[in-house]
């Protein structure tokens, strides 16, 4: 096999590939074995006629096209590797220059390539600090959240319901004098202040007691998902069976021992402080990286092949519609609802948004890959081993068991994961930290 890179411009490579007579002969044998069952030759059972007999009957080139199909994938891969090309779609054969048993085959292909470009400035980009010190208030807020999580609901007698309480209710909803679908419920636990019901519904139950009955008057929002109810006035007849209040656990050493691995509240607080610091700094680093990458993308001009945008657009749309279907809504129905409620935005308008998102994502991926290539981070065996332990822990496995099932694809993924982390650290280290904007008092 030999190949010549004829030209490479506008993200398209033209390559002339020659398959040797020896390799073409092997491809012909493979094509014959795969296709001989298609031929009926007198004197032979179907599929048993020798190749020369079939060629004599149907012509010497009867298997040429199938032989090219056999030879093409491996010859194409060799050519791509030889010329260090990065194709972004399947190649197209534009010309068959020659083909024969004696000389083999020569053909020309065109393939779209990953675009070549120069990175814009990626050092000295302004970011906010990624350092954070957890405050006492941070710890207090987290303790409050954990106490809320571990609270007990206790029934309270002759007590007015307040925000945060749970009321057990029956309700019947009417528009005019007519009940409507989904407007009836029995023994429903509603947390007041959760905003899980129609606006204004929960407010009218604040101050009520167990055993009371009341009418709740509300108006459905204009953008309500059930179009037949949108904007309509309605009344719910509500009976309150029970009011339940939260009883928070005492904030002491016993509480710390119940919710953590620590024996004392002071130890637990110190652990929370460290955890909050790590989480906040990770969030700040994520925001900083987003700022840097977005800025690098703005600074970088790339002529992206249409096929890359088209393929990514399909992925973006498919992912969006999958999320819609997981909510129990057919995408076509969703687009119709949005058309009615969102200033006439139809499926075509959404498609334009998908294209915009795809263009953004493809450019960002290209920029990230280029940064990795330019900075060329190394990964040591020790770093890999440390990451194997992290992954094993995440999958609740022993590292030895994790490594036993470690295939090449996962190994490459982990190596790239480490390189990307190094890239992000590098970008932050080479950024310019700016002062936080102070709020005016």
Decide yes or no: CATH 1.10.3720.10 for domain 266-434. no
**What SS3 state is found at 227?**
coil
Burial (0-12, 13-18, 19+ Cβ within 10 Å), 207 = exposed
Residue 22's pLDDT is: 96
Within the chain, which residue ranges are assigned CATH 3.30.70.1050?
A: 2-112
**In the CATH scheme, what is the code of domain 2-112?**
3.30.70.1050
> 284-333, pLDDT tens digit by residue?
999 999 999 999 999 999 999 999 999 999 999 999 999 999 988 888 88
Residue 441's pLDDT is: 40
**Average pLDDT for the chain:** 93
Burial (0-12, 13-18, 19+ Cβ within 10 Å), 438 = exposed
Sign of torsion over alpha carbons 158, 159, 161, 166: negative
Cβ atoms of 245 and 159 closer than 8 Å: yes
Residue 426's pLDDT is: 97
The fold adopted by the segment(s) 152-247 is: Chitinase A; domain 3 (3.10.50)
> 222-239, pLDDT tens digit by residue?
878 788 898 999 999 999
Q: How confident is the model at residue 343 (pLDDT cuts 50, 70, 90)?
A: low
Query: Tokens 């024996």, residue?
Result: 263
Residue 126's pLDDT is: 96
Sort strands 2-9 and 12-19 into parallel, antiparallel or unpaired.
antiparallel
Within the chain, which residue ranges are assigned CATH 1.10.3120.10?
A: 266-434
> 38-64, pLDDT tens digit by residue?
998 999 998 899 999 999 999 999 999
Within the chain, which residue ranges are assigned CATH 3.10.50.40?
A: 152-247
Please choose, from the candidates 267, 238, 243, 239, the residue with its C-alpha nearest in 3D space to the C-alpha of residue 255.
Answer: 267
Q: How confident is the model at residue 6 (pLDDT cuts 50, 70, 90)?
A: confident
> 179-200, pLDDT tens digit by residue?
999 899 999 999 999 999 999 9
Cβ atoms of 109 and 15 closer than 8 Å: yes
Query: Tokens 């020798």, residue?
Result: 50
Residue range 123-142: average pLDDT?
Answer: 96
Residue 224's pLDDT is: 85
CA 424, CA 290: separation in Å to the nearest integer? 10
185 secondary structure, DSSP code: E
Cβ atoms of 109 and 3 closer than 8 Å: no
Which residues are bridge partners to 432 per DSSP? Answer: 126
Residue range 94-99: average pLDDT?
Answer: 95
CA 414, CA 396: separation in Å to the nearest integer? 17
């Amino acid at each position: 096999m030999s190949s010549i890179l004829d030209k490479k411009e506008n993200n398209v490579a033209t390559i002339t590939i020659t398959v040797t007579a020896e390799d073409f002969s092997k491809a012909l044998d493979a094509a014959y074995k795969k296709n001989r069952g298609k031929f009926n030759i007198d004197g032979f059972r179907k599929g048993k006629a020798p190749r020369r007999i079939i060629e004599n009957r149907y012509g010497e080139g009867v298997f040429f096209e199938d032989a090219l199909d056999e030879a093409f994938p491996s010859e194409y891969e060799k050519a791509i590797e030889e010329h260090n090309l990065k194709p972004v779609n399947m190649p197209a054969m534009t010309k068959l220059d020659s083909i024969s048993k004696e000389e083999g085959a020569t053909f020309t292909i065109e393939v779209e390539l990953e675009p070549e470009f120069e990175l814009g400035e990626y050092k000295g980009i302004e970011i906010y600090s990624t350092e954070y010190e957890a405050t006492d208030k941070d710890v207090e807020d987290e303790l409050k959240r954990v106490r809320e999580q571990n609270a007990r609901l206790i029934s309270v007698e002759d007590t007015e319901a307040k925000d945060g309480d749970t009321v057990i209710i029956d309700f019947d909803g009417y528009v005019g004098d007519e009940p409507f679908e989904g407007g009836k419920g029995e023994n429903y636990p509603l947390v007041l202040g959760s905003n899980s019901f129609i606006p204004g519904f929960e407010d009218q139950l604040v101050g009520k007691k167990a055993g009371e009955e009341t009418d709740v008057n509300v108006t459905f929002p204009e953008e309500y998902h059930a179009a037949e109810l949108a904007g309509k006035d309605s009344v719910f007849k509500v009976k309150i069976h029970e009011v339940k209040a939260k009883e928070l656990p005492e904030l002491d050493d016993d509480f710390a021992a119940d919710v953590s691995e620590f024996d004392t509240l002071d130890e637990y607080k110190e652990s929370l402080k460290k955890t909050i610091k790590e989480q906040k700094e990770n969030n700040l680093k994520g925001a900083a990286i987003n700022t840097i990458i977005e800025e690098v993308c703005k600074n970088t001009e790339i002529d992206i092949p249409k096929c890359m945008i088209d393929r990514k657009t399909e992925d973006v749309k498919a992912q969006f519609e999958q999320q819609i279907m997981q909510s129990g809504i057919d995408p076509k129905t969703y687009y119709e609802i949005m058309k009615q409620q969102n200033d006439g935005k139809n499926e075509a308008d959404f498609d334009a948004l998908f294209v915009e998102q795809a263009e953004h994502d493809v450019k960002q991926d290209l920029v990230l890959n280029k940064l990795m290539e330019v900075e060329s981070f190394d990964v040591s065996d020790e770093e890999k081993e440390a990451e194997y332990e992290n992954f094993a822990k995440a999958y609740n496995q022993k590292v030895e068991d994790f490594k036993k099932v470690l295939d090449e694809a996962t190994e490459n993924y982990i190596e790239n994961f480490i390189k990307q982390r190094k890239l992000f650290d590098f970008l932050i280290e080479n950024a310019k930290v700016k002062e936080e904007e102070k709020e005016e008092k």
